[in-house]
Amino acid sequence: MSVVSNRGALLTLYGYTVLRGVGRSGFMILFPLYILSIGYRTSDLGEIAMIASGLMILVLPLFGYLVDHGYAAEVMFLSGLFMGGSLIIPVLNNSYPLLVVSYMISMLSLMVWSPSRNRIVGYIVTEKYMGRIYSLFIILFNLTRSLTSFTIGRTTYIGYGTLMIIIGIISLIGSFLTYVALLLSYRERSSRTTGWTGILDGYKAMISFPKSLLPLIVFSLMDSFAWRLWFPLLNSYFKEYRGLTDPEIGDYNTLMGLSMMFTAYGAGHITDLIKPLKALMIYEVIGAIGLVLLQFDYPLLMASSIFLGFSIAFWVSAYNTLITTLLGPHMVGRLRALTDSARSLAGIPSPYIGGLLMTINPVLTFILSISLMIASITPLAKLSGKISWG
């Protein structure tokens, strides 16, 4: 049996991943620096992220429903529009409400891209090799992410807003081209049906799910809360609290991206060998080590980016493999919406709390995050006893 049944669709997804590496890196670096430049602080970014998370969770189940009912290509197209819009909107109008909207659609772009891609991958890739296929997405994403981060760090002299507009336009054009390519290469197996009853079921799934999935939900809550205490604030934290220059911030993000890129295939291969739950446990431990190193000065500060990149590489391959195979590709939209809703729910207060703790002492934010990372291994261990991998 062939590893991939539709190489045209897979190549299109790879191309779109390159585009997302540019857009995502652009937002993660430029948006925090941009709002600092117009008078906000890192704690304000935490507040913006909190409000954006609360708004996003209201619409996330709708996209999960659409993915499961044959609209994966359309949802992927929207994720690209959201990515481009999140970069352009705050430059055109930097009012506080639109900064929140910008952050919300950036998060939405990240969240809805995954289930739409996972559904397509679930139908065209053999399960045995899925971890390695996902690792190739990580490699491509982080290759362009690293190049973009390095370039941004050395071109901010032309203005944060100018760079955001340029990257936003690239994202919009690339999204249109990707959608056309998917229409030519990929056809959904299921019928395209929609209805209010089905949509409401997507929302009900947020609170009514099999008890066997409870450990996964608990892990999603703990893991998201731990990482979102600091991750959305990281670049502004470097600028405000650690005094790093724009090139140094760019270099840190470049190293993190390179770490993800060079360790991705190994992480995917390990995921296929030891199964995704054990890989997720490894991810938490490596991430905790990275946060410990982050508290030191050079060169350990920069070394932390390598550990965090490796940790994220494990998460992407392991988490996506688990979500795609746990209930099958036909349910990936609903399951991803369920877990992402849990992650988003935890992410509502998390960056705000992290920002407030930083105003007291930044170390407090990272101590709390490390504690939760290690504790989140417990529900994963409980979930492993409920799953038979064959």
- 37-51: buried (b, 16+ CB within 10 Å) or exposed (e) per residue? eeebebbbbbbbbbb
191: pLDDT strictly greater than 90: no
> What was the pLDDT predicted at 308?
96
Q: Which pLDDT band, with edges at 50, 70 and 90, does 216 fall under?
A: confident
> What was the pLDDT predicted at 194?
53
- 364-389: buried (b, 16+ CB within 10 Å) or exposed (e) per residue? bbbbbbbebbeebbebbeebbeebee
Percent of the chain with pLDDT over 70: 88
Average pLDDT over residues 34-47: 94
**pLDDT tens digits, one per residue of 276-326:** 888 889 899 999 999 999 999 989 999 999 999 999 888 888 887 787 777
> What was the pLDDT predicted at 386?
54
Please count the CA atoms within 13 angstroms of the CA of 18 that sit on its side-chain side: 9
Q: How far apart are CA 352 and CA 257, in angstroms?
A: 26
Q: How far apart are CA 155 and CA 235, in angstroms?
A: 16
**pLDDT tens digits, one per residue of 234-245:** 999 999 999 999
328: pLDDT strictly greater than 80: no
Q: Which pLDDT band, with edges at 50, 70 and 90, does 192 fall under?
A: low
390: pLDDT strictly greater than 50: no
Q: How far apart are CA 195 and CA 148, in angstroms?
A: 41
Can you list the alpha helix ranges (DSSP code H) found in 186-275?
Answer: 196-204, 214-228, 234-240, 246-274
Q: Which pLDDT band, with edges at 50, 70 and 90, does 1 fall under?
A: very low
> What was the pLDDT predicted at 389?
40
| Angle 76-203-120 from CA coordinates, rounded to 5° | 30
Q: How far is CA 158 from CA 153, 162, 194, 204, 361, in A?
A: 11, 7, 47, 48, 33
More confident call, 280 vs 161: 161
Indicate if the alpha-carbon torsion angle 165, 146, 322, 15 is positive or negative.
positive
Q: How far apart are CA 142 and CA 109, in angstroms?
A: 17
pTM of this prediction?
0.84
- For residue 68, the Cα-to-chain-centroid distance in whole angstroms is 20
More confident call, 341 vs 175: 175
More confident call, 94 vs 72: 94
Average pLDDT over residues 244-248: 95
Q: How far apart are CA 160 and CA 166, in angstroms?
A: 10
Cis, peptide link before residue 299, omega less than 30° from 0: yes
> What was the pLDDT predicted at 360?
96
Percent of the chain with pLDDT over 90: 52
> What was the pLDDT predicted at 134?
77
Q: How far apart are CA 133 and CA 10, in angstroms?
A: 9
- 140: which 2 tokens? 């491509």
> What was the pLDDT predicted at 318?
85
Q: How far is CA 334 from CA 115, 300, 326, 343, in A?
A: 9, 41, 12, 14
More confident call, 172 vs 387: 172
